[in-house]
Amino acid sequence: MSTEPVIKLGQKKKSLFKDSVMALLPDGGNLNMCLTCGVCSSGCPATGLADMDPRKFLRMASMGMDEEILSSPWAWMCTMCQRCIYVCPMQIDIPQLIYNVRSVKPRDEKPKGIVSSCDLALKHDTCSAMGASEEDWVFVVEDVLEEVRDSQSGFESLEAPMDKSGATFFLNQNSREPVTEPDEMVPLWKILHSVGADWTYGSKGWAAENYCMFMGDNKDWESIVRTKAKAVDDLGAKVWLNTE
């Protein structure tokens, strides 16, 4: 009788993604602490999409299945909401794992919408993912504000300050609203007006989102954040209020 084993277990493959995250984060992002309990998947809005979930994704990374991970579109379906970290008893940083997968994808293989939005955000110091210039942004805010003052009783003195120095709050705005749905900005103005908040928009760095981050591009992500932070610092605002 042959004594040869039926199954031969080879050496475990190294995972480019997992190893890089572990080298980057304190305590390795706890990636070796997984209990396979599945709590991460239970609260994930992307669970089940493309036959994937956070637990499966992490297990595949732990097993060195980098090619399979790269061939799945699921990394782009993750919202990076961090619910998985919040509910995980071991506080495992799965979103950082997702980010690393996105970052190694060639630019021409990344979702075109995200790439385009990142490029548009880099076009002006507004950081608008719609490509809105400083002049366009200021015009829209002033135009909408004037219309509200003229047409809505009780809001004749409504303010939407622009480049106000020393304000308590520097308010960011989703860049799609002033371009496609400018009236959607007004309810927040009314709330801030009603509570007497000391706030301002900036003509620079006002866009709330950062598609370069979602794209997994460290260089452009940093460029966007630095532009926004400089706008806040230049106006001397005390709190950076990001609506996203």
User: 126-178: per-residue pLDDT in tens?
Assistant: 999 999 999 999 999 999 999 999 999 999 999 999 999 999 999 999 999 99
Domains of the chain by residue range: 16-104, 113-241
In this predicted structure, what is the pLDDT of residue 226? 97
Token readout for 203 is 């003509």
Model pTM score: 0.81
Token readout for 28 is 């390795």
Q: What is the Cα–Cα distance from 20 to 93, expressed in whole angstroms?
A: 13
Span 211-232, mean pLDDT? Answer: 95
User: The sheet that has 199-200: what strands, in order across it?
Assistant: 199-200, 169-171, 239-241
In this predicted structure, what is the pLDDT of residue 17? 66
Rg (CA), the chain: 23
Q: Rounded to an integer, what is the distance from CA 13 to the centroid of its chain? A: 31
In this predicted structure, what is the pLDDT of residue 7? 40
Going from the C-alpha of 8 to that of each of 5, 12, 66, 67, the distances in angstroms are: 7, 12, 21, 22
Q: Which of 86, 56, 93, 85 is nearest to 72 (CA)?
A: 56
CA angle at 73 for the pair 244 and 89, rounded to the nearest 5°: 60
Q: Rounded to an integer, what is the distance from CA 104 to the centroid of its chain? A: 17
pLDDT tens, 43-80?
899 999 999 999 999 888 888 888 888 899 999 999 88
Q: What is the Cα–Cα distance from 210 to 220, expressed in whole angstroms?
A: 9
Q: Are strands 169-171 and 199-200 parallel, antiparallel or unpaired?
A: parallel
What pLDDT band is residue 10 in, cutting at 50, 70 and 90? very low
Q: Which of 144, 110, 116 is nearest to 130 (CA)?
A: 116
